[in-house]
Amino acid sequence: MEALLIVDVQNDFCPGGALAVPEGDQIIDAVNRLAAQAPLVLATRDWHPPDHGSFVDRGGVWPVHCVRGTPGAQLHPGLGARIDAIIDKGQASGREGYSGFEDTSLERLLRERDVDTVHVVGLALDYCVKATALDARTAGFKVVVHAEATRAVDVEPGDGERAVAELRAAGVEVRPAPARPARDAR
């Protein structure tokens, strides 16, 4: 069976959020389209405690984001997809929690549903999407990342491209975004 895993499409990762991924909200239509075709749809959320170690004020590198129970931590309201389960991650103060598999029930849930192929979409390609896809691969799942339904934060220019190369090297299929029609130059 196949499952769609929507990674961290949350308000804080979209324009206007505390840690906005450039064009993060532009993946919503593609995510909804893929979800409409999937037999099982799961979503992860960064669900950090207020004292999470990744926050700048705690010595980390990221601004305060996705604090559990806040509006920024909620899934983006544009997600019209049916979501069968939400997996909260990043709840331990001392651990990054990038992967949806880290300290969660995600793998058990996938195995209980006899999932063998995981389609991964969401934010951000170069952090949580990559970590989740790599852990899914390590756990033995066939993994497909849909480029049209993810964006990179690109802290360093090229991080997104490097993430795609790393995913492919690990045996993850990365499906390119469909070609956009050329604009009429009239």
Q: Give the CATH number, domain containing residue 39.
A: 3.40.50.850
List the catalytic residue out of 66, 88, 89, 130. Answer: 89
In a domain, 137, yes or no: yes
For 39-63, the pLDDT digits (tens) are 999 999 999 999 999 999 988 889 9
The SS3 of residue 157 is coil
Cβ neighbors of 75 (< 8 A, separation 6 or more) are 9, 10, 11, 43, 45, 83, 86
Answer yes or no: 12 catalytic.
no
Percent of the chain's residues with pLDDT above 70: 95
* Residue 109, domain member (yes or no): yes
> Is the confidence at residue 185, as pLDDT, over 60?
no
Cα-based angle 71, 102, 28 (whole degrees, multiple of 5): 45
Task: Give the total number of structural domains in the chain.
Answer: 1
14 catalytic residue (yes or no):
no
Specify the pLDDT at position 182: 55
Residue 134: which domain range? 2-175
Banded model confidence at residue 180, pLDDT cuts 50, 70, 90: low
In a domain, 180, yes or no: no
The yes-or-no answer on residue 142 being catalytic is no
